[in-house]
Amino acid sequence: MEPAEMNENKDMKSMTLAELREALQPLGVPRYRADQMYRWMHVQLAESPEQMSNLPRAFRQQMEDMGEYVTLRTVDRQISRMDGTQKFLFALPDDNLVESVFMRYRFGNSVCVSSQVGCRMGCRFCASTLNGWERNLLASEMLEQVYAIMRATGERVSHLVIMGTGEPMDNYDNVVRFIRLLSSPEGQNLSQRNITVSTCGIVPGIRRLAEEGLQITLALSLHATTDEKRRKIMPIAEQYSIEELMKAAAYYFDRTGRQVTFEYSLIRDVNDTDTDAAGLAALARPIRAHVNLIPVNPVAERSFVQPSAEAAQRFKAKLEKSGISVTIRRELGRDIDGACGQLRRRHLDREPFGKTI
């Protein structure tokens, strides 16, 4: 693994247990201190070294001096009256804002995290990219989104989707580090099978991820079945053709044995015809991909419209008839700035960039 990206100070929460042991060595403390500290950070979810009550005071002070202990400040929290979905807006140590979502499902609680501050992929229908890209998130800053939500709700989190603001493959090392830390047996031990990484389709990233030995799910944001149409809504399609994408997805399936998901935002009069459905089935069938249909979330600055519920059902039925496994994503938290990146945007509109309430 690449070494953790450090700030000037050592970012302790981004370190693996082995790295933490090494970092503590010069302090001359017993070896088990690293294990205790890892447990405080990743299992007991301490908000500061001060809370680590079974560690000697002098050692806690050394830790405060040695490195940065990343935590997030909750700036806004909205709870849906419709379905209990909760949206969180967090301030990072440098006051940048990120958004995360807590969702309850029958199979367990799921958290959706952001991987970057802003995004530079420029997908036309997406609110997260409208203000551009500011910076990558550290592994600790992604972990803290999950931990802060666990602290705030007092609930267990069993599922993770990296589908918030940002393109995970554009912050590859930190994202993979984050996944390893969250699924580490000495930490939260979250099952990798319950982790999904969503990408707009950066081919070298997909191929690299296939080699990591992880058991996570890859979700590919497809949204169109021809290069021509895809280029109109996703600038990344200028760089990678659908053919290259399909080869990379097949490679991922082959190497990991994990069924790939195609995400497909249904947009009225853009990609919701019978021809589109037939094209999508033809792409999904060879690699037995699962298709997740997402009626597009209207974004104020864009004019994209959802197909009617009946049209979406027809599109789904057409795929099913072709033998494709398909779901329509249930919309959660519609009453609380539910759509991607909208809570953050509302705050950015109100306050100068970076400043928080």
**Which residues here bind ligand SAH, judged by CB under 6 A?**
121, 123, 125-126, 163, 167, 198-200, 221, 263, 265, 294, 296-297, 299, 339-340
Taking the least distance from each CB to ligand SAH, the nearer of 64 and 238 is 238
Q: Is 40:13 a contact under the CB 8 Å cutoff? A: no
Judged by beta carbon, residue 15 or residue 163, the one nearer ligand SAH is: 163
Q: Shortest distance, CB of residue 164 to ligand SAH, whole angstroms?
A: 6
Instruction: Confirm if 45 and 147 have CB atoms less than 8 A apart.
Output: yes
Cβ closest to ligand SAH, residue 181 vs residue 296: 296
Residue 141 backbone dihedrals phi, psi, to 5 degrees: -75, -25
Instruction: Give 218's strand partners.
Output: 197
Q: In the complex, what is the shortest distance from the CB of residue 341 to ligand SAH, in angstroms, rounded to a whole number?
A: 7
For residue 156, give the 3-state DSSP assignment.
coil
User: Which pair of tokens denotes residue 311?
Assistant: 């049209």
Q: What's phi and psi for 202, nearest 5 deg?
A: -90, 105
DSSP-assigned beta bridge partners for residue 112: 101, 161
- Smallest distance, ligand SAH to C-beta of residue 151, A: 25
- CB-wise, 86 or 221, nearer to ligand SAH? 221
Query: Minimum Å distance from CB 57 to ligand SAH?
Result: 43
Per DSSP, helices labelled H in the chain are 17-24, 32-42, 57-66, 139-153, 172-182, 203-210, 227-233, 242-256, 274-284, 309-321, 342-350
Quickly count: other Cβ atoms within 10 Å of residue 122's Cβ: 15
Catalytic residue among 68, 99, 167, 263: 99
* Residue number, 65 or 301, with CB nearest to ligand SAH: 301
What is the C-alpha separation between 110 and 113, in angstroms, rounded?
10
Q: Do 215 and 193 meet the contact criterion of CB atoms below 8 Å apart?
A: yes
Contact call for residues 118 and 132 (beta carbons, < 8 A): yes
Select 65 or 349, whichever has its Cβ closest to ligand SAH. 349
8 A C-beta contact, residue 264 and residue 281? no
Torsion-angle region of 124 (φ positive above 0: left; ψ -120 to 50: alpha; else: beta):
alpha
* 130 close to 165: Cβ distance less than 8 angstroms: no
CB of 214 to ligand SAH, least distance (A): 17
Active-site annotation holds for 126: no
By beta-carbon proximity to ligand SAH, the closer residue of 15 and 126 is: 126
In angstroms, what is the minimal distance from the CB of 285 to ligand SAH? 20
Structure tokens at 113: 């995290």
**186 flagged as catalytic:** no
Q: Which residues are catalytic?
A: 99, 340
